[in-house]
Amino acid sequence: MKLVLASKNKKKLVEMNDILSRLGVQVCSEAEAGVDVEVEETGTTFEENSLLKARTVMEASGMPAIADDSGLCVDALGGAPGVYSARYGGEGLDDTGRYRLLLENMRGQSPRTARFVSVITCCFPNGDVITARGECPGTIAFAPMGEGGFGYDPVFFLPERKKTFAQLTAEEKNEISHRGKALALFQEKLKAYLAAQPEN
């Protein structure tokens, strides 16, 4: 089976292929599927945005499509930045600007608990949908630490490891991360789905 990844992110394509090739599933880019879709993320939940992306690319390509939507939810900020994680503070900010803004908004706030969330959705042309959600709990550090990862990793602290996501190796992060958990669950669900198909 071949799935199209509803994303322009090459790292995501490699990561998805690494995991799903074990099931005999090949993941290709939008370009390889002959589509180039800009999906406006108008949803208010990770589930809605993930479904929007997967469904739009499935409809454009006529092939099963997979998407993920993720972000950081901070309890003291009412769940912000949440689905707006990539756009927190507006267009002008980069990853560093966004986590600095978060640290500023967290000054004097308590508790500092937070969680990363990832929702993966796969839409099939026959209308079937598979969804998997993964979460990783942690806290917001008082200052950035570590050089690895991306996004909010330098300020996402894991109390039990006494390290931020940015201080973990990619392997260590994948083992416990929201995306790693969502992908593991998705893999199980897809395996069961494929086994139930008459042609398999």
Q: Where in the sequence numbering do the catalytic residues fall?
A: 69
CB 33 within 8 A of CB 4: yes
Nearer to ligand IMP, 31 or 86 (CB): 86
> Structure tokens of 112?
């500092």
DSSP 81: B
Cα gap 164→187, rounded to integer Å = 27
Peptide bond between residue 111 and the one before it cis (omega within 30 degrees of 0): yes
Q: Which of residues 164-193 bind ligand IMP (CB under 6 A)?
A: 165, 177
Among 5, 60, 63, 85, binds ligand IMP (CB under 6 A): 85
Nearer to ligand IMP, 144 or 194 (CB): 144
Q: Which residues fall within 8 angstroms of residue 170, CB to CB, at 6 or more apart?
A: 148, 149
What is the enclosing helix (H) or strand (E) of 2?
A: strand 2-5
Q: Which residues fall within 8 angstroms of residue 157, CB to CB, at 6 or more apart?
A: 138, 139, 140, 141, 145, 163, 164
Q: What angle do CA 118, 111, 86 make, to 5 degrees?
A: 35
Among 5, 69, 180, 181, binds ligand IMP (CB under 6 A): 69
Q: How far is the CB of 26 from ligand IMP (least distance, A)?
A: 22
Q: Which of residues 90-129 bind ligand IMP (CB under 6 A)?
A: 116
Stretch of 20-28, 105-113, 122-130, 150-158 contacting ligand IMP, by CB under 6 A: 150-158
Is position 152 an interface residue for ligand IMP (rule: CB under 6 A)? yes
Q: How far is the CB of 194 from ligand IMP (least distance, A)?
A: 25
Is position 131 an interface residue for ligand IMP (rule: CB under 6 A)? no
Stretch of 57-65, 66-74, 100-108, 125-133 contacting ligand IMP, by CB under 6 A: 66-74
Nearer to ligand IMP, 10 or 197 (CB): 10
DSSP 83: G
Q: How many residues bind ligand IMP (CB under 6 A)?
A: 14
Sites of contact with ligand IMP (CB under 6 A): 69-72, 85-86, 116, 149-153, 165, 177
